[in-house]
Amino acid sequence: MKLYLALKRQPDRTLTKRFFYQVARNTWIDQLRKQKVTTESFEENKYPGNDHEDFFQICESLEILAEYLTVKQFVIVLFMDVFQFTAQETADMISDTQANMYTILHRSRKKLKKCIDLATDPKSAFEPLMTKVTRFLGTEHT
């Protein structure tokens, strides 16, 4: 339609490939500008779990896990214990076997339990941090 109107205004204009491209491009840009972009305002209290204190506790817990576990153990604990992936799904994501996932998860839990047991010693300065980790993992220690 725009080509027809352009030729009607200037009948002696030569039709080149560049002219067709420019008309098509400008038409596309015009259509994009006419589309109304919908935006949604962000309300901080709209989403559950948006508490800053919880966020910092989770970050601190993740840092503790990262300090005590190897990278592979950390990833497997997150996938299987936190995000509830199955061993097979986790194995597929990190290109390993399902049996190895169970082995690494068991060793990771054992290592964390050992750290928790050491932290519950009255002489330990890490007890507050380890309590947050156990709360994060959903396990209780006494």
Query: If you average pLDDT over residues 17-45, what whole number do you get?
Result: 79
Residue appearing with tokens 């399902």: 98
Joined together, the tokens standing for residue 30 give: 């015009």
Half-sphere exposure in the Cβ direction for 134 (13 Å, CA): 20
CATH number of the domain that 127 lies in? 1.10.10
pLDDT at 48: 55
DSSP annotation string for 96-113? --HHHHHHHHHHHHHHHH
Q: What pLDDT band is residue 125 in, cutting at 50, 70 and 90?
A: very low
**CA 50 to CA 76: how far, in whole Å?**
26
- CB contact at 8 A, 137 and 112: yes
Between 1 and 94, the more confident residue is 94
pLDDT at 140: 52
Residue 113 domain flag: yes
* pLDDT one-digit tens code per residue, 68-117: 889 999 999 889 888 889 999 999 999 999 999 999 999 998 888 887 77
Which of these ranges, 17-31, 74-88, 112-126, has the smallest mean pLDDT?
112-126
| Structural domain that includes position 88 | 52-135
- How many structural domains is the chain composed of? 1
> What residues have CB less than 8 Å from 34, skipping those under 6 apart?
none
Residue appearing with tokens 């204190």: 53
Please name which of 34, 7, 38, 44 lies closest in space to residue 23, comparing C-alpha atoms: 7
* pLDDT one-digit tens code per residue, 33-62: 888 767 766 665 555 555 666 777 778 778
Residue 86 domain flag: yes
Residue 81 domain flag: yes
Rounded to 10 deg, the angle between the 52-68 and 127-137 helix axes is 100
